Amino acid sequence: MCGIVGYVGEKKVTPLLLEALEKLEYRGYDSAGIALMTDNGIGIKKTRGRIADLRKIVEESGECGSTVGIGHTRWATHGEPSDVNSHPHLSKSGRVAVVHNGIIENYMELRDFLITRGYEFAGETDSEVVSELIDYCYSGDPVYAVRKAELQLKGSYALGIIFSDFPDQIFALRKDSPLIVGIGERENFIASDIPAILKYTRDVFRLDERELAVLTRRSVTVLNSFGERVDHVIEHIEWDSGAAEKGGYPHFMIKEIMEQPDAISKTIAPRLAEGGGIELGFKSISDEDLKNIESIKITACGSAYHVGVVAKHLLKKWLNIPVEAELASEFRYDDPIINERTLVIVISQSGETLDSLYALREAKAKGARTVSIVNVVASSIANESEEVLYTWAGPEISVATTKAYSTQLVLIELFGIRMAQLRGTMSPERSAALIESIKGIPEGVSHILKDVQTIQYMASLYFNSQSVFFLGRNIDFALSLEASLKLKEISYIHSEAYAAGELKHGTISLIEDDTLVIALCTYRPLLEKMISNIKEVKARGAKVIAIINEDDIQTGTVADHIIRIPECDEIATPSLTIVPLQLFAYYIASLKGCDIDKPRNLAKSVTVE
């Protein structure tokens, strides 16, 4: 959430900052602003609303010719969305401007301290405290001022800072919130994420914890918390900037849904070894370590957590050991029972999800072995895990995840099969069959995506629904969680997912005439029970869409509509079942005219607790 950009070079900075901020809109925001280094000091332009609103303000004020500046898109945490609460924040002295991602937990204490020293505050944000605190610590040395202020800050922060006394420099500092540095020819950049600056440079590196970067147009100096210079290996971004563009699609979400066959293939291919094996590429956790694991905890947030709930069912059966899926936001506050024979798997698309990062640190502190599944290379979670499995899904821009979810799912399945092979809990014949089924998932997804008309038609029937209920059992219930989340986050329709066996324990009281129920009926061992559940809601006036297997001839006789999933092994079924439900959510939101890629109040990368 929120987005930071910064530039020092020879180009006019205003259009560059505005364009870079537009590339970060997917992160979620409610206000935007820029701070420019001018001949008259630091100039601030900011507003509540979209970048288009900011652009109008900038155009009306005229081009200042500045070549140094910082910009920000804010997602409100402390203080309502407003012009005054927007970033950047300029100290009352006019000497220091700051953009900030994260949360300063002790901002009220610092605010009170500064007020007693004569400082005044115009807004309600925690971030305004940072600019005034740095100003208070400043006596001519900007690095000293930033470091002295940092000692007082509690919480998470990525900071972009400019000083009026140093008009050719940008300062950047991070703790628990991502920040990258881009290297160019006679120009350098800071940004929250690569797409913001990919048009201008492909050479980047990520700041590590508590590193302070000093950028000029000719150099970048990185200092650790001891003041020592640190050298970083420059990463050259290989994927094309077009991967972060819509490519003719009306929204990033539908583009990314359609990209899933290719994304899944790219996730699977590097893990398949000759002779039907699976190659994880681990260096710190040995095969022997995996054999000795006694329990697994999967922790994540949102859709990544839903991947963990699906995986829990599969891994528990394959490995014959306890496997739990836990919300990362609860994990470290729940006194998790873990030790050196516990494997903790952390799943995160961005690799920067703060709750998941804290859960990872809690697991490590208690001696657990740790593996992360992430998309973004060299992200915080990837760097701090013992081992990392990259999904290689490419950039995902839409806030509502689709291809990241699908690639995380196949990757954790491959991991589970490999672990079962090592532990001897799965026969060679069964593991070979499962691997072949996984290899067939891209083709199965492609088959579903070739015919979306049925989904569009059903969306046209039900886009005015007030409430939608998703029902399923076992893995189908786990998939219902994700399907419900997809619908509610982009269409704003109230939806809930329930284990179908819980209907009689209260949920069925919510069913009335024409209530839409989406029943997932692909888990074969409990199909007859699901049919009974469909009959129960139909008897109370519900309309039912059933997701069924290709050879299912029973369920279609009781549901109002059916969507068939191509015949496949149980391991592939979750990957195929979720696709029509992603499409259904998309077309519902499209018919309602919602802002699909940037749903209200949501952010792509949640870097605060």
pLDDT number for residue 599: 85
For the chain, the 3-state helix, strand and coil shares in percent, each to the nearest 5, are 40, 25, 35
pLDDT number for residue 194: 85
Write out the two tokens for 60: 């009306």
CA angle 435, 440, 446 (to 5 degrees): 155
pLDDT number for residue 242: 59
pLDDT number for residue 506: 78
- Catalytic option among 2, 137, 521, 568: 2
Backbone angles phi, psi at 307, to 5 degrees: -60, -45
Q: What is the 3-state secondary structure (H, E, C) of 550-608?
A: CCCCCHHHCCCEEEEECCCCCCCHHHHHHHHHHHHHHHHHHHHCCCCCCCCCCCCCCCC
Q: Distance between CA 44 and CA 26 in Å, rounded?
A: 23
Backbone angles phi, psi at 451, to 5 degrees: -135, 90
pLDDT (average), residues 224-253: 83
- Beta-bridge mates of residue 410: none
CA neighbours closer than 13 Å in the CB half-sphere of residue 67:
11
Assign 63 a pLDDT band (cuts: 50, 70, 90): low
Element (H, E) at 209: none
pLDDT number for residue 480: 97
CA angle 604, 20, 221 (to 5 degrees): 100
The rounded mean pLDDT for the chain is 91
CA neighbor of 282 nearest in space, from 395, 160, 154, 419: 419
Backbone angles phi, psi at 413, to 5 degrees: -65, -45
Task: Answer whether 252-439 and 453-592 agree in fold.
Answer: yes
CA neighbor of 177 nearest in space, from 105, 89, 129: 105
Residue whose token pair is 């691997």: 435
pLDDT number for residue 240: 62
Are 537 and 512 spatial neighbours (Cβ–Cβ below 8 Å)?
Answer: no
Are 32 and 72 spatial neighbours (Cβ–Cβ below 8 Å)?
Answer: yes
The mean-pLDDT minimum among 19-23, 89-93, 483-487 falls in 19-23
Q: Distance between CA 67 and CA 86 in Å, rounded?
A: 22
pLDDT number for residue 273: 85
pLDDT number for residue 27: 66
Q: What is the 3-state secondary structure (H, E, C) of 393-458?
A: CCCCCCCCCCHHHHHHHHHHHHHHHHHHHHHCCCCHHHHHHHHHHHHCHHHHHHHHHCCCHHHHHH
The mean-pLDDT minimum among 320-329, 449-458, 505-514 falls in 505-514
Give CATH superfamily name and number for 453-592: Glucose-6-phosphate isomerase like protein; domain 1 (3.40.50.10490)
Please determine, for residue 31, whether its predicted confidence score (pLDDT) is greater than 90. no
Please enumerate in sequence order all residues whose Cβ is within 8 A of that of 266, keeping only pairs 6 or more positions apart, or say none: 392, 393, 394, 407
pLDDT number for residue 395: 85
Q: Distance between CA 117 and CA 132 in Å, rounded?
A: 11
pLDDT (average), residues 415-433: 95
Please determine, for residue 70, whether its predicted confidence score (pLDDT) is greater than 60. yes
Are 69 and 17 spatial neighbours (Cβ–Cβ below 8 Å)?
Answer: yes
Please determine, for residue 350, whether its predicted confidence score (pLDDT) is greater than 70. yes
Please determine, for residue 8, whether its predicted confidence score (pLDDT) is greater than 60. yes
Please determine, for residue 79, whether its predicted confidence score (pLDDT) is greater than 80. no
Are 375 and 351 spatial neighbours (Cβ–Cβ below 8 Å)?
Answer: yes
Q: Distance between CA 516 and CA 537 in Å, rounded?
A: 10
Are 431 and 421 spatial neighbours (Cβ–Cβ below 8 Å)?
Answer: yes
pLDDT number for residue 176: 85
Please enumerate in sequence order all residues whose Cβ is within 8 A of that of 462, keeping only pairs 6 or more positions apart, or say none: 468, 516, 543, 545, 588
Strands 323-327 and 295-300 come out as: parallel
Q: What is the reported pTM?
A: 0.78
Q: Distance between CA 127 and CA 74 in Å, rounded?
A: 11
- Catalytic option among 46, 312, 598, 604: 604
AA letter at 356? S
pLDDT number for residue 378: 80
Class of domain 3-238 as given by CATH: alpha beta
Peptide bond into 428 cis (omega under 30): no
Please determine, for residue 225, whether its predicted confidence score (pLDDT) is greater than 70. yes
CATH architecture of structural domain 252-439: 3-Layer(aba) Sandwich (3.40)
- Work out the number of other CB atoms within 10 angstroms of the CB of residue 168: 14
Please determine, for residue 605, whether its predicted confidence score (pLDDT) is greater than 60. no
Residue whose token pair is 């059966």: 317
pLDDT (average), residues 131-148: 96
Strands 369-374 and 342-348 come out as: parallel
Helix (H, G, I), strand (E, B) or coil at 280: coil
In eight-state DSSP terms, residue 540 is T
Q: Where are the beta strands (DSSP E) in 149-219?
A: 155-163, 170-175, 180-183, 188-191, 203-206, 212-215
Cα distances from 450 to residues 24, 175, 261, 582, in angstroms, run 31, 45, 12, 14
Active-site annotation holds for 604? yes
Please determine, for residue 604, whether its predicted confidence score (pLDDT) is greater than 70. no
Please determine, for residue 245, whether its predicted confidence score (pLDDT) is greater than 80. no
pLDDT in tens, 560-577: 999 999 988 889 999 999
pLDDT number for residue 51: 87
AA letter at 332? R
With a pLDDT cut of 70, the percent of the chain lying above it is 96
Helix (H, G, I), strand (E, B) or coil at 465: coil
Domain edges within the chain: 3-238, 252-439, 453-592
CA neighbor of 3 nearest in space, from 189, 217, 155: 189
Classify burial at 283, counting beta carbons within 10 Å of its beta carbon; exposed 0-12, middle 13-18, buried 19 or more: exposed
AA letter at 304? A
Q: What is the per-residue DSSP string for 44-76?
A: EEEEES-HHHHHHHHHHH------EEEEEEE--
Classify burial at 189, counting beta carbons within 10 Å of its beta carbon; exposed 0-12, middle 13-18, buried 19 or more: buried
Q: Which residue has the higher pLDDT, 458 or 601?
A: 458
pLDDT number for residue 1: 56
pLDDT number for residue 25: 77
Active-site annotation holds for 2? yes
Assign 243 a pLDDT band (cuts: 50, 70, 90): low
The sheet that has 561-565: what strands, in order across it?
494-499, 467-472, 516-521, 543-549, 561-565
Please determine, for residue 417, whether its predicted confidence score (pLDDT) is greater than 60. yes
Write out the two tokens for 61: 């004020």
Please determine, for residue 547, whether its predicted confidence score (pLDDT) is greater than 90. yes
